[in-house]
A and B are shown apart, each in its own frame.
Chain A
Amino acid sequence: MKQIFALFIILLTAGSCGSGVKKEKSSNEETAQKTLAVTNYPLFFFTQQIAGDKFEVLFPVPADIDPAFFEPGADVVSTYQSAEMIFINGAGYESWVDKVSLPQRKIVNTTAKVSDQYIQERGMSHSHGPDGEHDHAETAFTTWLDQSIALEQAKLINETLKETYPESSELFDANFKALEEELTALDTQMDLAFSSWADASVSASHPVYQYLGARYGLHIHSEHWEPGQKLESDEVNTFIGSLHHNDSQLMLWEGEPHPETRKLLEDADVKVVVFLPCGNIPAQGDYLTTMKQNLESLDMVDE
Chain B
Amino acid sequence: MKDSIYLAYRYLTYNRVRSLVLTFSVAIIIFLPVGLKRLISESEDQMLARANSTPLIAGKKGSPTDLVINTLYFQQEKIETLTMEYAAILDETGFGYSIPIMSSYSARGFPIVGTSLDYFDFRDLSPESGRLFGVVGECVIGSNVARRLDIQAGDSLISSPESFFDFAGVYPLKMDVVGVLGHSNTPDDDAIFVDVKTTWIIMGLGHGHQDLVQVNDPTIVLERSDSTVTAGAKLFMYNQIDPENIDQFHFHGDINSYPITSIIFIPENQKASTLLRGRIESGEIDNQIVVPTLVVDNLLQSIFRIKQIFNSVFVIVGLAVSLIFGLVIALSLRLRKDELYTMFTIGSGRSKIAQIIGMELLLLVVISALISGIMYYITGFFIDEFMNAFII
Chain A contact residues, CB within 8 Å of chain B: 71, 73-74, 77-78, 81, 98-105, 122, 124-131, 133-136
Contacts and interface: CB of A to CB of B under 8 A. Distances in A.
A192 to B, nearest CB: 38
A104 B118 contact: yes
Contacts of A98: 197, 206, 250-251, 255
A101 B116 contact: yes
A124 B213 contact: yes
A101 B115 CA distance: 10
B117 A103 contact: yes
Interface in B189-222: 195, 197, 204, 206, 209, 212-213
A224 to B, nearest CB: 12
B168 A130 contact: yes
27 contacts: A71-B243, A71-B246, A71-B247, A73-B243, A74-B178, A77-B135, A78-B131, A81-B132, A99-B135, A99-B197, A99-B249, A101-B117, A101-B134, A101-B138, A101-B197, A103-B121, A104-B117, A105-B118, A124-B212, A124-B227, A126-B212, A126-B230, A126-B231, A127-B229, A127-B231, A128-B232, A133-B230
A132 B135 CA distance: 27
Contacts of A78: 131, 134
Contacts of A77: 134-135
Nearest to A134: B252
Interface in B210-262: 212-213, 227-233, 235, 243, 246-247, 249-253, 255
- Indicate the member of B135, B204, B228 with the most A CB atoms within 10 Å: B135
B352 to A, nearest CB: 61
A249 to B, nearest CB: 26
B192 to A, nearest CB: 14
Contacts of A81: 117, 132, 134
A128 B136 contact: no
A44 B227 CA distance: 36
A74 B206 CA distance: 20
B216 to A, nearest CB: 14
Contacts of B249: 99
Contacts of B212: 124, 126, 128
A122 B225 CA distance: 14
B132 A101 contact: yes
Closest 3 CB pairs of A and B: A128-B231, A77-B134, A101-B195
A130 to B, nearest CB: 7
A28 B131 CA distance: 25
Nearest to A103: B117
Nearest to B243: A73
A105 B91 CA distance: 9
Interface string B126-163: 00000111111010000000000000000000000000
B116 A103 contact: yes
B97 interface: yes
B97 A126 contact: no
Given A126-B212, A127-B228, A128-B232, A100 B136 contact: yes
A100 B135 contact: yes
Contacts of B243: 71, 73
Contacts of A99: 135-136, 197, 246, 249
Contacts of B132: 81, 101
Contacts of B97: 104-105
Nearest to A130: B168
A230 B121 CA distance: 52
B2 to A, nearest CB: 50
A159 B228 CA distance: 43
B117 A128 contact: no
A128 B116 contact: no
Contacts of A104: 97, 116-118
B346 to A, nearest CB: 68
A129 B227 CA distance: 18
Contacts of A122: 227
A98 B206 CA distance: 10
Interface in B85-130: 91, 97, 116-118, 121
Given A98-B255, A104-B118, 8 more contacts: A78-B131, A99-B246, A101-B132, A104-B97, A104-B116, A122-B227, A133-B228, A133-B230
A78 B127 CA distance: 14
B252 A131 contact: yes
Nearest to B137: A99
Nearest to B223: A127
- Indicate the member of A105, A122, A128, A131 with the most B CB atoms within 10 Å: A128
Contacts of A130: 168
Contact of B233 (A105, A129, A134): A129
A248 to B, nearest CB: 30
- Indicate the member of A73, A81, A101, A122 with the most B CB atoms within 10 Å: A101
B134 A74 contact: yes
A60 to B, nearest CB: 13
Nearest to B232: A128
Nearest to B250: A136
Contacts of B91: 105
A131 B135 CA distance: 25
A105 B121 CA distance: 12
A5 B134 CA distance: 56
Given A101-B117, A103-B117, A74 B135 contact: yes
